[in-house]
Structure formats: structure tokens, C-alpha cells
């Protein structure tokens, strides 16, 4: 956030434009940070089943179905989830492998590989 402000202030623009651009940059970043904090407070852990059935479990134990968005990925050492809550708000989370036991991480990788996978030929045979 501060690097962006520094770049804007170093641009060859009139001072008023620098201040306006810096203010807009800061406002956008603060909005994003608030969204991340709100999303993090809504999810304590995830529950994932095959076919992209992803649920977030809140700290009070309530489950809510989450829509998995494009750009989500599960790799060997981390997972990046982009999700949409039922109310339409979005949230992103980077999960390192250390947050799960080895068997749970392997299960997540397997489910991820098998999701939306077509078995057999496209003609139905």
C-alpha cells in the first residue's frame, strides 16, 4: 500500500493530482483490507468434498456453502482459495501446507485433482 503511494507521489504530475490519486489508492487498499478481515472472521476452517462442494465453517460452528471462484488452486505447498459467500461478498485466503495434517493435505490434493474431471470419451462411451 505504501509502495503504491510512494510511486504515485514520485510521478511527474501536479500536486493536486498526486494527492487525489494517493487518496484513491489508499481508500481502495483500506477497502480491500476491511474485506479480508471480515472474510477471515467468517471462516474458521473449510470443508471440501468432490465436485466443488466447499463449505466454510464459522467460529460459532455454522456451515455456509461457498462458491469456489476461478483462480483458486491447490499446489504441493500451499492452497489459494478464492470464494464467494452466499451474500455475494468475495474472500481470498492463502493456506500453507502446515495448516493441515499430511493425510488431510493429500486428501485435499486428490479431491482437487478429481474435481470436474470427465471420465471416458466425450461421446459418452
Cα 21 → chain centroid: 27
Q: What are 61-113's pLDDT values in tens digits?
A: 888 888 888 888 888 899 998 989 999 888 999 989 888 888 888 888 888 88
24 burial type by CB count under 10 A (0-12 exposed, 13-18 middle, 19+ buried): exposed
Tracing cell 485433482 back to the chain, one arrives at 113
Q: What are 22-56's pLDDT values in tens digits?
A: 999 999 999 989 988 998 899 988 887 766 678 88
> Which of 32, 59, 31, 29 minimizes the C-alpha distance to 43?
59
Q: CA–CA separation, 42 vs 9, rounded Å?
A: 36
Q: pTM of whole model > 0.75?
A: no
Tracing cell 486428490 back to the chain, one arrives at 110
Q: CA–CA separation, 24 vs 17, rounded Å?
A: 10
Amino acid at each position: 500500500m505504501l509502495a503504491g503511494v510512494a510511486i504515485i507521489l514520485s510521478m511527474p504530475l501536479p500536486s493536486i493530482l498526486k494527492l487525489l490519486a494517493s487518496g484513491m489508492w489508499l481508500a481502495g487498499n483500506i477497502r480491500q483490507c476491511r474485506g479480508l478481515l471480515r472474510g477471515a472472521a467468517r471462516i474458521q476452517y473449510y470443508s471440501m468434498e468432490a465436485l466443488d462442494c466447499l463449505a466454510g465453517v464459522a467460529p460459532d460452528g455454522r456451515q455456509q456453502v461457498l462458491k469456489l471462484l476461478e483462480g483458486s488452486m491447490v499446489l504441493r505447498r500451499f492452497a489459494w482459495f478464492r470464494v464467494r459467500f452466499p451474500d455475494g461478498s468475495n474472500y481470498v485466503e492463502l493456506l500453507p501446507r502446515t495448516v493441515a495434517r499430511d493425510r488431510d493435505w493429500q486428501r485435499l490434493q486428490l479431491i482437487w485433482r478429481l474435481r470436474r474431471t470427465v471420465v471416458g470419451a466425450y461421446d459418452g462411451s
